[in-house]
Amino acid sequence: SVALFNILRFPLNMLPVVISSLVQASVSLKRLRLFLSHEELDPGNVNRNDLKGSAYSISMKNATLSWSKDDSPCLKDINLAILEGSLVAVVGHVGCGKSSLISALLGEMEKQEGYVAVKGTVAYVSQQAWIQNTTLKDNIIFGQDWHKGWYNRVIRSCALLPDLEMLPAGDESEIGEKGVNLSGGQKQRVNLARAVYNDCSVYFLDDPLSAVDAHVGRHIFEKVIGPKGLLKNTTRILVTHGINFLPQMDVIFVMVDGKISEFGTYQELLEQGGAFSEYLQAYAHKETSEPEVESESEDIVLLEVEDAEDDGPNRPRHKKRRLSTISRQYPGFANKAETTSLGGYSSSPRSNVGLSQFAGQQELDNNTEEKAGGKLTVADKAQTGRVKFSVYIKYIKAIGVCTSCLIVVAYICQHVAALFSNFWLSLWTDDPIVNGTQPFNKLRLGVYSALGLGQGFFVLFSSVLMCAGGIIASKWLHADLLNDVLQSPMNFFERTPSGNLVNRFAKDIDTIDSMIPTVIKMFLGSLFNVLIACIVILIATPIVAVTFLPLGFVYFFVQKFYVATSRQLKRLESVSRSPIYSHFNETLLGVSVIRAFGEQDRFLQENDLRVDENQKAYYPSIVANRWLAVRLEFVGNCIVLFAALFAVAYRLKLSAGLVGLSISYALQVTATLNWLVRMSSEVETNIVAVERVKEYSEMEKEAPWFSNNNSPTSNWIQRGTIQFIGYSARYRADLDLVLKNITLTIKGGEKVGIVGRTGAGKSSIALGLFRIIEPAEGLIYLDGINISEIGLHDLRSEITIIPQEPVVFSGSLRMNLDPFEHHSDNDLWNALELAHLKTFVSDLPNTLNHECSEGGENLSVGQRQLICLARALLRKSKVLVLDEATAAVDLVTDKLIQSTIKSHFDQSTVLTIAHRLHTIMDYTRVLVLDKGEIIEFDTPANLLAKKGVFYHMAADSGLL
């Protein structure tokens, strides 16, 4: 009976694990079923065949659309018909439905009623550029066939040629996840180049020009979008806030609150005398006139070059192509006079610190030669060899040293109690029977019961301790990992794919949560079971010890071989999981672009390939498991065989009770030994999760959050005076300087505009001020305090930035405005009113409790930007940085925002990085940057009178 119960012990121990796994599987299946049963986009939302043979490319009749069937309509009663080859503008205030109209034509919205039809292939340029973590070339080609001549022409027209010149490996340079290696303007130009290269019939362009300066924007419009651009024979729908291109449009649609309020040509809209006519007259007189600039300031050279591969695969091929190089020479450059090309370049991530020198006759092939240094992101690395002892120590410390010791002691007591109860039972069976019964039955029963109760207590105690210790360790390691990641410098996030982070925070933490405590518990149980079985067998039949040496050698060899293999397979499986997460996350972010280009199958295949790579590491671990089981079954059966043989051979000398106890333990050795080796292997393979978490604790960190020696008082910035003294900075140690010897003083309360071509180093100034990048040399003082000597929290809590790409978190609108709950509802409503969002929020069903989706996807980009403005208004900092903060809003809203900033931050120092130069024309001073250096720094009036760099930028913007 004891033997049978011992054999049953292992399956009974496994029963809770099996039940738990079944429950988890059931929950997962329900979640999957719920997800898979969700409504999918109806392909019939947009008819693709109805307009064949028609003169129209796009038609909408009485169309009412919403984001889901249950939502209220975003677009109401839309009627439009667009002729093939037309250039169409869609304009309107923030949140009026411009981007929704584009989404509706792409089939991304649910059609509640009406008719929507689009003819031909479609290309889409999203408002926020979607960039893949691959080379610049692959981002542009986007799965299409390579056509060298057409590719080169697209690169030139989208003003990307200078960027290829200076990127470390040309167009073979990896541009990082979400395009971290590029500036905002460069990302948008790559976004546009992808659409142009795909050579489609219809182009949906969602405000692609807002992220570039006026000069580059004008070039892109003329060479790509406009009536004489590359896309002149296609249908183009351009959402725009800039009105200087509107006179060249075939038709303009004006949207108000999800409806088309009026439409017509530029001249027709002016003659209608409506609200939009007044808007045009208020702004257009300055922006639509062509700037008059000296002839030396702009030299457009058109070179005829032989090229048989000029055009795309669907375009007629010509024998010649036009190579355009726009060269600009600025007077007043002193010794820095140079011919600079149109776009920015990148000698380091995101900085792209100036305008590259480019000779018009240079061979294009030189731009695309692969050079060293093109790799940016760092793949997840798999360690080799045994897991270091320090990893085990880290986990023990996470549980608690005292708790760990108590767990081991509890397991020892539990198995000692089990051994003594069985030994006591064997003595009981040896008691002689007198008069049909055994003496001392009550004593035997009492002691046996006490030992059984003691064993039960220690089983419960050890299990509770193990569970509690596992939870404590998991919480501690997760907090430690999160703290390590949050304290990492910015270049860590630029070089680390999101999949690596998701892998550690998801799978590795899950392993620490659920697997490691269970595996350790089973390992300790199996270890003491095997030890006790061996002790009992040796006591009962000492001669069996002769067989233990060879069997132990076999066991040791098998265990060592298996553990080394399974440990490395686990590491490889963990590492190969990161690319799956990265690709999945990247696909979700760009799903609308992928669907627009019809690339779903290619992305599914890519996902399958990455899953297959992961399975290449996972499947061998299952095979190795079976390999181990066969060999350990052999070792275990040998132990049973020898224990039984020697028991029979020495039956006259042995106690029947001990022999029975020996055989009962021998019978369970096979399963227990197998499980011990597997669990010892599982401990080492799963502890790899702790090893991977520990890797991040050994990375470079940012400066301390608080400085014990130099902590300033609260509200330590009183005036807002900023001094840069010989300041130079770079993004990483292996890269060139992005800011060079910046020396300037900004007085408290001054309003300073920061301008320059794409990639001149404008955003780098803000990053240096926040110590996102540390100085290579030089100092920055805020109100006379060296910011390098104070804690990052003390610095960043006192200054505010409204970033170029607005950040909205998943949660309520209230939480996004006031995450630390420092302000009353009245304060929130006042901030919303100043940010011109009060009406919008008041109309929401839950007002301030309105749930913002992840990344603010249920808000327009302009609305997200206004939320960031409201958040800044609540902080009331003495130093405010605006990084292209109004690029995504219309000119009317822009004017209102600028008025709010001037009145609300009249006592604050404001630094504004601007492409729209009219927003800074009344600022105190303007800082002009090029290649990371100060070119000009004076009042706008003086800079215009000087007729230098700023003068020509203002001329390009139509302000002169």
Helix or strand or coil: residue 912?
Answer: strand
Q: Cα–Cα distance between 114 and 75 in angstroms, integer?
A: 11
Q: Where are the extended beta strands (E) located within 202-249?
A: 202-206, 235-239
Q: What is residue 242's predicted lDDT score, i.e. its pLDDT?
A: 76
Confidence of residue 478 (pLDDT cuts 50, 70, 90): very high
The candidate with the shortest Cα–Cα distance to 187, out of 357, 350, 358, 376, is: 350
At 549-590, the pLDDT tens digits run 787 788 788 888 888 888 888 888 888 888 888 888 889 888
Q: What is residue 283's predicted lDDT score, i.e. its pLDDT?
A: 57
**Cα 798-803-808 angle, rounded to 5 deg:** 95
At 769-819, the pLDDT tens digits run 999 888 989 999 998 889 888 888 888 888 998 887 788 888 888 998 888
* Strands 251-256, 235-239: pairing kind: unpaired
* pLDDT above 80 (res 442): no
Across 263-267, 320-324, 736-740, least confident range: 320-324
Q: Where are the extended beta strands (E) located within 49-102?
A: 56-66, 75-83, 87-92
* pLDDT above 50 (res 326): no
**Cα 728-732-734 angle, rounded to 5 deg:** 100
Residues comprising the chain, all counted: 960
Q: Which residue has the tokens 């007002």?
A: 847
CB-based contacts of 846: which residues, under 8 Å, 6+ apart?
812
Pair 767, 959: CB distance under 8 Å: no
Structural tokens at position 545: 């010890």
Structural tokens at position 862: 């302009």
At 258-304, the pLDDT tens digits run 888 888 888 888 888 776 776 676 555 444 433 333 333 333 333 33
Confidence of residue 434 (pLDDT cuts 50, 70, 90): low
Q: What are phi and psi of 187, to 5 degrees?
A: -60, -40
Q: What is residue 329's predicted lDDT score, i.e. its pLDDT?
A: 30
Q: What is residue 661's predicted lDDT score, i.e. its pLDDT?
A: 65
Half-sphere exposure of 48 (CA within 13 A, CB side): 12
When comparing pLDDT for 721 and 313, which is higher? 721
At 621-663, the pLDDT tens digits run 888 888 888 887 787 777 778 777 777 776 666 666 666 666 6
Q: What is residue 473's predicted lDDT score, i.e. its pLDDT?
A: 92
Across 184-198, 232-246, 433-447, least confident range: 433-447
Strand partners, 355: 344
* pLDDT above 90 (res 455): no
Q: Cα–Cα distance between 901 and 796 in angstroms, integer?
A: 20
**What value does the mean pLDDT take over residues 13-34?**
87
At 669-726, the pLDDT tens digits run 767 777 787 888 888 888 888 988 888 888 888 888 887 777 777 778 888 899 999 9
* pLDDT above 60 (res 373): no
**What value does the mean pLDDT take over residues 502-513?**
87
Share of the chain above pLDDT 90, in %: 13
**What value does the mean pLDDT take over residues 312-339?**
33
Strand partners, 58: 82, 118
Q: Cα–Cα distance between 581 and 505 in angstroms, integer?
A: 11
* pLDDT above 70 (res 327): no
* pLDDT above 50 (res 328): no
Pair 239, 890: CB distance under 8 Å: no
* pLDDT above 80 (res 161): yes
Cα dihedral value 731, 733, 734, 740, nearest 10: 60
Pair 97, 255: CB distance under 8 Å: yes
Structural tokens at position 936: 């000009």
Q: What is residue 417's predicted lDDT score, i.e. its pLDDT?
A: 84
Across 366-380, 667-681, 861-875, least confident range: 366-380
* pLDDT above 70 (res 432): no
CB-based contacts of 734: which residues, under 8 Å, 6+ apart?
none
Q: What is residue 330's predicted lDDT score, i.e. its pLDDT?
A: 29
* pLDDT above 70 (res 322): no
Q: What is residue 43's predicted lDDT score, i.e. its pLDDT?
A: 82
Q: Which span out of 66-70, 353-357, 484-488 was modeled with the highest average pLDDT?
A: 484-488
Pair 58, 48: CB distance under 8 Å: no
Q: Which residue has the tokens 């109004």?
A: 886
Pair 928, 936: CB distance under 8 Å: yes
Q: Cα–Cα distance between 753 and 916 in angstroms, integer?
A: 10
* pTM of structure: 0.69
Confidence of residue 340 (pLDDT cuts 50, 70, 90): very low
The candidate with the shortest Cα–Cα distance to 138, out of 180, 173, 167, is: 173
Pair 727, 775: CB distance under 8 Å: yes
CB-based contacts of 764: which residues, under 8 Å, 6+ apart?
350, 351, 353, 729, 738, 739, 773, 932
Q: What is residue 361's predicted lDDT score, i.e. its pLDDT?
A: 30
Q: Which residue has the tokens 């003003």?
A: 159
* pLDDT above 60 (res 667): yes
Q: Where are the alpha helices (DSSP H) in 386-440?
A: 389-399, 401-430
Pair 769, 795: CB distance under 8 Å: no
Helix or strand or coil: residue 674?
Answer: helix
Q: Where are the extended beta strands (E) located within 685-784?
A: 722-729, 739-746, 751-755, 775-782
* pLDDT above 50 (res 853): yes
Structural tokens at position 505: 């925070």
The candidate with the shortest Cα–Cα distance to 212, out of 257, 180, 242, is: 242
Number of Cβ within 10 Å of residue 381's Cβ equals 11
Confidence of residue 927 (pLDDT cuts 50, 70, 90): very high
For residue 357, CA distances in Å to 166, 342, 582, 741, 878 come to 10, 9, 36, 21, 39
The candidate with the shortest Cα–Cα distance to 242, out of 209, 195, 290, is: 209
At 869-905, the pLDDT tens digits run 888 888 888 899 988 777 667 677 777 778 888 888 8
Helices (H) and strands (E) in the chain, counts: 30, 25
Structural tokens at position 674: 């197998």
At 749-769, the pLDDT tens digits run 899 999 887 667 888 888 899
The 3-class SS string of 464-486 reads HHHHHHHHHHHHHHHHHHHHHHH
The candidate with the shortest Cα–Cα distance to 535, out of 678, 423, 694, 382, is: 423
Number of Cβ within 10 Å of residue 53's Cβ equals 6
**What value does the mean pLDDT take over residues 137-141?**
89
Q: Cα–Cα distance between 359 and 946 in angstroms, integer?
A: 28
Q: Cα–Cα distance between 229 and 219 in angstroms, integer?
A: 10
Q: What is residue 959's predicted lDDT score, i.e. its pLDDT?
A: 72
CB-based contacts of 24: which residues, under 8 Å, 6+ apart?
none
The candidate with the shortest Cα–Cα distance to 529, out of 455, 469, 468, is: 455
How high is the mean pLDDT of the chain? 79
Q: Cα–Cα distance between 106 and 123 in angstroms, integer?
A: 9
CB-based contacts of 101: which residues, under 8 Å, 6+ apart?
75, 78, 90, 239, 255
Q: Which span out of 213-217, 302-306, 318-322 was modeled with the highest average pLDDT?
A: 213-217
Q: Cα–Cα distance between 670 and 665 in angstroms, integer?
A: 10
Q: Cα–Cα distance between 135 and 148 in angstroms, integer?
A: 16
**What value does the mean pLDDT take over residues 181-189?**
81
**What value does the mean pLDDT take over residues 903-925?**
85
Strand partners, 685: none
Widest CA span of the chain, in angstroms? 129
Structural tokens at position 34: 């719920």
For residue 48, CA distances in Å to 57, 59, 116, 196, 255 come to 10, 11, 9, 21, 25
When comparing pLDDT for 6 and 675, which is higher? 675
Structural tokens at position 287: 């922006």
Run of H or E residues at 848: none
The candidate with the shortest Cα–Cα distance to 501, out of 734, 695, 733, is: 695
Q: What is residue 490's predicted lDDT score, i.e. its pLDDT?
A: 81
When comparing pLDDT for 116 and 735, which is higher? 116
Q: Which residue has the tokens 């009178």?
A: 945
**What value does the mean pLDDT take over residues 411-439?**
72
* pLDDT above 70 (res 172): yes
Ramachandran sector of residue 179 (left: φ over 0; alpha: ψ -120 to 50; beta: rest): left
Across 67-81, 328-342, 361-375, 496-510, least confident range: 328-342
Run of H or E residues at 494: helix 490-495
Structural tokens at position 752: 């300073």
Helix or strand or coil: residue 125?
Answer: strand
Number of Cβ within 10 Å of residue 790's Cβ equals 22
Confidence of residue 488 (pLDDT cuts 50, 70, 90): confident
Q: Cα–Cα distance between 931 and 245 in angstroms, integer?
A: 29
Q: What is residue 7's predicted lDDT score, i.e. its pLDDT?
A: 64
Q: Cα–Cα distance between 861 and 863 in angstroms, integer?
A: 5
